[in-house]
Amino acid sequence: MPRNAPPPLNPARCVLGIECGATHSVAVLGDPDGGETARGEFAAANLRLLSDAALKRHLRRIAARFPGAMAVGIGMAGVRTDADRERLRRLATDVWPRESLWVGNDLETALAAAPTSRARVSVLVLSGTGSCCFGRSQAGESVKAGGWGHVLGDRGSGHAIGLAALRVVLEILDRQGTWPELGARLLRALAMNEPGELVDWSVHAAKPEIAALAVEVFQGVATGDRLCRGLLSEAAAALVTDAQACARQLAGPDEPVQFVLAGGCLLRCPYLARQVKRGLLAARSGAEVRILEEEGARGAMKLAVAGAGAPGEIPTPTRRRSRQNVPSPDPVQLPEATGLPPTEERNPRSMNLDRMSLRAAVGLMLAEEDRVSAALAAVRVPIERTVRIVARALQQGGRLFYVGAGTSGRLGVLDASECPPTFRADPAMVQGIIAGGQRALWAAVEGAEDDFAAGAEAMGFRRIGAKDVVMGIAASGRTRFVWGALQAAREVGAATVLLCFNPNLRHPAALRPTVRICPDTGPELLTGSTRLKAGTATKRVLNIITTLAMVRLGKVAGNLMVDLNPSNRKLRERAVRIVRELTGAGEEAARMALTRQGWVVKQALQELGRCG
């Protein structure tokens, strides 16, 4: 038998557990009772850092090494949302099409590997290069604290300890003129001769390089260094605080909780582990504190067995709703599609697009775009109603939110970004939200549009209220991210608008938006490419809504922008022309009035006395 081949197991009982993390991946093959096993290590894998193709290759390498499992559990770093789970499930199903699947993140698998406890709630306290606390109840509710990355705060992590060590030794040098023993340790570890060398190094140092300095703090504690003990006490306090925050959200004040300590810092530094344990026991009576001795791949095996069912089935935890002013709708609800969206049908006029002459193809595209006007004219009434609703909301201190994915989301962000310079509007007055966040503005974010909960949570974090208007933009009319946002907005009394290009939708009363704008632009010239006619129509509808709403707010006189923000030379020249047009003043007088009024056009008009 080849040296690395797994031992023969009963295929009917084989379970494969996989844990993929930032440094490496581990796979364990065995039976559900944890008996005979084979183990292998593979390259690191993070869902958010790998393409679909790269991730599938990674999983296929593992599958080739460990064939014959009846169930597979995968815990992977980077799995944060329901859309992330769905993406991993989809790719894993291609690799294991007949096996039962459980997929999730590496925090869940680590916690599942913890010893069995009578406590209803368990909290993983993880401190390695980064840090995070993750709690889960037996009912499946989960909550997380920390894990924001080293820039925003991996509290109590190796990186945080290493960085704190660097800062404190330099602070002592500045304020006391002495160089502590810890400073000497750090210079030795970095092969440096004097503190000045730290400046250039720190600018380019990677997260693991700074985290590696925590080892010098651990060793300093072993020699009785009080400075090192203070640093570790601070790290322990941060971990205890985050762990208790998880426990409070899942368990009552007197309910026992199991805390599980994991990660390189807690496993390699007994002093830090003791400090954390002491803090947890002092903060919660009846608590259990244990060290995680099993690796996360074993937890993935347990979850695979617990979730055994149909191929591709993924039992997932129930996330705690964020404590914002908008609830997260549950369960997922979408309007019913009674037919294929027109944008997904084949356009009979472009069947031979790939064989057309360039002149004919350009002419056809222009002709197709001409059809947009007629489609929009047919939905003029709901557009007018939307303008009235938006104008009234803005007059009363409300805001307009565009919510979309892909092209729809980008167009919403574009229209929102034009309002401050064009109408001197507060940037908060009109806002664009795109599935996948900032990165999705220029690149596709896998699965973002399918995350219903993320759409709802975005409403909470923007603090949507009853005065606001939320406009969902979705060519098909069934984008899950958009409907998560619309449903959450509806639950707090905000007005809702749906702009879509699919007349084949049936909305039950519980899902019916305040206004539905549904122009039928027909099949796209390139089948399914909604950046074409649907994109053109979207841009025009959004232009109408914000322009006419701002007109009703008094930001336009005639057809002139009397409330523009002259933030550059071109706009200042425009402001001068507007003031001259409306007052009859000469160029110098208009410019001087604008200068005195801080380039606020309305105030300059008031000073000069508008005459038309």
Task: List the catalytic residues.
Answer: 418, 449
Phi-psi map region of 149: left, alpha, beta (phi>0 left; psi -120 to 50 alpha): left
- E-state strands within 376-468: 400-404, 430-434
Question: How many angstroms separate the first and last alpha carbons of the chain?
Answer: 95
Q: What is the rounded CA–CA span in Å between residue 216 and residue 30?
A: 39
CA 595 to chain centroid, in Å, comes to 44
Contact 435, 502 (CB under 8 A): no
Contact 106, 241 (CB under 8 A): no
Judged by DSSP in three states, 324 sits in: coil
Burial class (CB in 10 A: 0-12, 13-18, 19+), 286: exposed
Q: Which strands form 495-499's sheet, in the order they lie side by side?
A: 430-434, 400-404, 469-473, 495-499, 515-517
Tokens of 569: 């030379």
Instruction: Write down the H helix ranges in 480-600.
Output: 480-491, 533-552, 569-583, 587-596
Structure tokens at 564: 């523009």
Spatial distance between the Cα atoms of 340 and 198, rounded to a whole number of angstroms: 62
